[in-house]
A and B are shown apart, each in its own frame.
Chain A
Amino acid sequence: MARPPVLTGIHFMSGNIAVAEGSIAAGCRFYAGYPITPSSEVFERFAERMPEVGGICIQMEDEMGSIAAVLGASWAGLKAMTATSGPGFSLMQEHVSYAVMTETPCVIVNVQRGSPATGLPTLPGQGDVMQAKWGAHGSYEIIALSPNSPQECFDMAIRAFNLSEQYRVPAIILMDECIGHMYEKVVIPPKDQIKIVNRKKPEKGKPYLPYKADDDLIPPMAAAGDGFKFHITGLTHDERGYPDLSAEAHEKIIKRICDKIRLNTHKIVDYETFRMEDAEIIVISFGAASRSAFKAVELAREDGIKAGLLRLKTIWPFPCDYIGKLAEKVKAFVVAEVNYGQLVHEVERCAHGKADVILSAVMGGRIHRPEEILDKIMEAVK
């Protein structure tokens, strides 16, 4: 029996399976992938589920092929995605750039592992924080979400598709091996309780300029076969989609594709706070590491230290204004991440020197023990 797209009910699911189910619930009907640990269960779930819901799942020859097929499918009108890990994400970067420039909605799940290079294929890492923002060539803005539980993998998959469709930009779900392979309770709501956003479409029968944006800086998007006979290029282009290789055209398009995200940062940014009301030391963390950070804050509070937690649910765009305001009130930030310092630079930038910023690093292969973060909180108190 083919199951429906939305598996309403209470499940015991891994993050990798939940992110696949969330995507299907969001309307994703095209998956192209290439096997890579620790993300392969996402692919396997799609292989099983796509035929059930009338969608497509294809195994491509490599990650460049996967993401290229995803972008092609998106231009054929389907919601499309792929999943990978760090090495595959590196190979996809040229298409991240192409998707940004051509404003092609797509979702990329990156189940991070220990890196660089082949690194630790079966063990966790959070080393792609900067790659998610700066991995491709050019000036661009992008959206990256970071779940810290299987439930959030489901919920954030829906949000990633909604944001990608709304802003016509790739949305990345930055998971990690712990979250991908962790099994927990996942509640899938009834279909009519799931909010779905679809890309704007041009009106049929009317003249269509594929890159003429509305007031919200986002142009409507036709699909191939709709009859508009449009042209899409990765070259700098004008509103008609035709190449315009001038500095003026370039300035216009880069400004718009960045500003459509920058000006909406406050609508996209999402975070969770814990014991922040009177906190003097704030731990900033995300993904699997944030689960240790919760415990570390509890331990600090037991010792009478006024610690709090800011858990980032969106990493890009970065909540710079918020962290800047916090910096005026608190003594220090402790940034707990599973790499040798990436997000910490962003926190330093946004703190403007008004609060100390301390890195709590684990290189990968494991997440922090709460005591390790606690040590850094103690260091911050001194």
Chain B
Amino acid sequence: MSRAKVVEQHLFDKYLRVDRLPHIWCPGCGIGILLSCFIKAIDTLQLDLDKLVVVSGIGCAGRIAGYIKVDSFHTLHGRAIPFAVGLKLANPSLNVVVISGDGDIFSIGGNHFIHAARRNNDIMVICVNNFIYGMTGGQYGPTTPYQARTSTSPYGNVEHAFNLPHVAASCGAVYVARWTVLHTRRLTESIIEALQKKGFRFIEVLSPCPTVYGRRNNMPRGLDMMKFFMKNCEIRNFEDTKNIAIEPGEKIIIGKFVDIEKKAFEDAYYELIRSVRGY
């Protein structure tokens, strides 16, 4: 038996602001796993880190921008997408990725999401869906499953949840996928694929929040929800997104659902500039 070797440096250190570690996420949280998958993806692609920009909103997932060592913006609650739209349009050589949570992107920021998808702005959006407002103490959100117990739905949630890939697909996103933090290899491959595409790309990442969601819904440890994902997820690539709402007691459908080509807003606008200026 060899003893575990303590390493002073991790292979991914060059991608992280190591002077900010340890991170703020709770034990059992899945956001760190997504961060790791994202870094694996940019490492695989050997992206130009000077041109990669990560934009986040507010919330637990919103803290991702602070840990990745690229130009990064921790913006206002819900406003990561329009901020990213401005960045990308103003400097089309940037590779702009929004990483934020379900409440941030789909509740307070919902209007920005649907219009950026409709316009086909050339940005990639990764939404960490932990079914809850985590940072503020576990209030229900736009993705909280029907009947789930939260701090603002103590008798069970009576609202219906968004089917995020369906929202993205109906609004015109050119790439739509849903994975969980259990499916790290597929999630990483999906991020690699989406990073290389143009237009509005969307990946939903289901992630456990044992601290304020799991413990009120019979999954008190992070591992409980990972086991739940293992037992209940079914991969169905290119399934019609209208059939993949997350409903209590039903299978969670994951996979890549949309992968189409469509002219990005930025390309159309820069073509317009060239035609107006006559070159």
Stretch at the interface among B99-107, B125-133, B239-247, B268-276: B268-276
Q: Is A52 close to B, CB under 8 A?
A: yes
Most chain A beta-carbon contacts within 10 A, residue among B82, B83, B269: B82
Q: Is the CB of A61 within 8 A of B112?
A: yes
Q: Is the CB of A229 within 8 A of B49?
A: yes
Which residues of B (21-44) have their CB < 8 Å from a CB of A? none
Contact pattern, A 16-42, Cβ under 8 Å of B = 1, otherwise 0: 000000000000011010000000000
Q: Is A64 close to B, CB under 8 A?
A: yes
Contact pattern, B 209-241, Cβ under 8 Å of A = 1, otherwise 0: 000000000000000000000000000000000
A52 partner residues in chain B, CB cutoff 8 A: 276-277
Contact pattern, B 93-130, Cβ under 8 Å of A = 1, otherwise 0: 11000000000000000011011000000000000000
| Bound Cα distance A52, B84 (Å) | 24
Known contacts A78-B90, A229-B50; A54 and B66 CB within 8 A of each other: no
Q: Is the CB of A51 within 8 A of B277?
A: yes
Q: Is the CB of B86 within 8 A of A68?
A: yes
Q: Is the CB of A225 within 8 A of B51?
A: yes
Q: Is the CB of A225 within 8 A of B273?
A: no
Q: Is B186 close to A, CB under 8 A?
A: no
Q: Is the CB of A229 within 8 A of B71?
A: yes
Q: Is A70 close to B, CB under 8 A?
A: yes
Known contacts A52-B276, A80-B90; A65 and B65 CB within 8 A of each other: no
Q: What's the tally of chain A residues with a CB closer than 8 Å to chain B?
A: 47
Q: Is the CB of A231 within 8 A of B84?
A: no
| Bound Cα distance A234, B273 (Å) | 34
B75 partner residues in chain A, CB cutoff 8 A: 68, 71, 98, 234
Known contacts A76-B91, A225-B91, A227-B50; A64 and B79 CB within 8 A of each other: yes
Q: Is the CB of A224 within 8 A of B87?
A: yes
Q: Is the CB of A68 within 8 A of B50?
A: no
Closest Cβ of chain B to A242, distance in Å, is 6
Which residues of A (35-82) have their CB < 8 Å from a CB of B? 51-52, 54, 56, 58, 60-62, 64-66, 68-78, 80
A75 partner residues in chain B, CB cutoff 8 A: 73, 86-87
Q: Is B53 close to A, CB under 8 A?
A: yes
Which residues of A (211-246) have their CB < 8 Å from a CB of B? 222-235, 242-243
A70 partner residues in chain B, CB cutoff 8 A: 86
Q: Identify which of B65, B83, B114, B276 contacts A51 (C-beta below 8 A).
A: B276
Q: Is B70 close to A, CB under 8 A?
A: yes
Q: Identify which of B20, B53, B89 contacts A30 (C-beta below 8 A).
A: B89
A30 partner residues in chain B, CB cutoff 8 A: 86, 89-90
Q: Is the CB of A77 within 8 A of B90?
A: yes
Q: Is the CB of A76 within 8 A of B90?
A: yes
Q: Is B69 close to A, CB under 8 A?
A: yes
Q: Is A117 close to B, CB under 8 A?
A: no
Q: Is the CB of A72 within 8 A of B269?
A: no
Q: Identify which of A73, A222, A232, A243 contacts B73 (C-beta below 8 A).
A: A232
Q: Is A2 close to B, CB under 8 A?
A: yes
Q: Is the CB of B90 within 8 A of A73?
A: yes
Q: Is A95 close to B, CB under 8 A?
A: yes
| Bound Cα distance A235, B53 (Å) | 19
Q: Is B151 close to A, CB under 8 A?
A: no
Closest Cβ of chain A to B144, distance in Å, is 24
| Bound Cα distance A139, B75 (Å) | 19
Q: Identify which of A65, A98, A224 contacts B53 (C-beta below 8 A).
A: A224
Q: Is A94 close to B, CB under 8 A?
A: yes
Q: Which residue of B lies closest to A222 (CB)?
A: B71
A51 partner residues in chain B, CB cutoff 8 A: 272-273, 276-277
Closest Cβ of chain A to B278, distance in Å, is 7
| Bound Cα distance A231, B54 (Å) | 10
Q: Is B167 close to A, CB under 8 A?
A: no
A64 partner residues in chain B, CB cutoff 8 A: 78-79, 82, 112
Which residues of A (243-267) have their CB < 8 Å from a CB of B? 243
Q: Is the CB of A62 within 8 A of B86?
A: no
| Bound Cα distance A89, B265 (Å) | 27
Closest Cβ of chain A to B115, distance in Å, is 4
Q: Is the CB of A71 within 8 A of B90?
A: no
* Besides the known contacts A68-B85, A68-B86, 7 further A-B residue pairs in the complex with CB atoms under 8 A apart: A51-B276, A61-B114, A64-B112, A95-B79, A229-B49, A231-B65, A243-B74
Interface set of A (CB-CB < 8 Å, partner B): 1-2, 29-30, 32, 51-52, 54, 56, 58, 60-62, 64-66, 68-78, 80, 94-95, 98, 222-235, 242-243
Interface set of B (CB-CB < 8 Å, partner A): 17, 19-20, 49-51, 53, 55, 65-66, 69-76, 78-79, 82-91, 93-94, 111-112, 114-115, 269, 272-273, 276-278
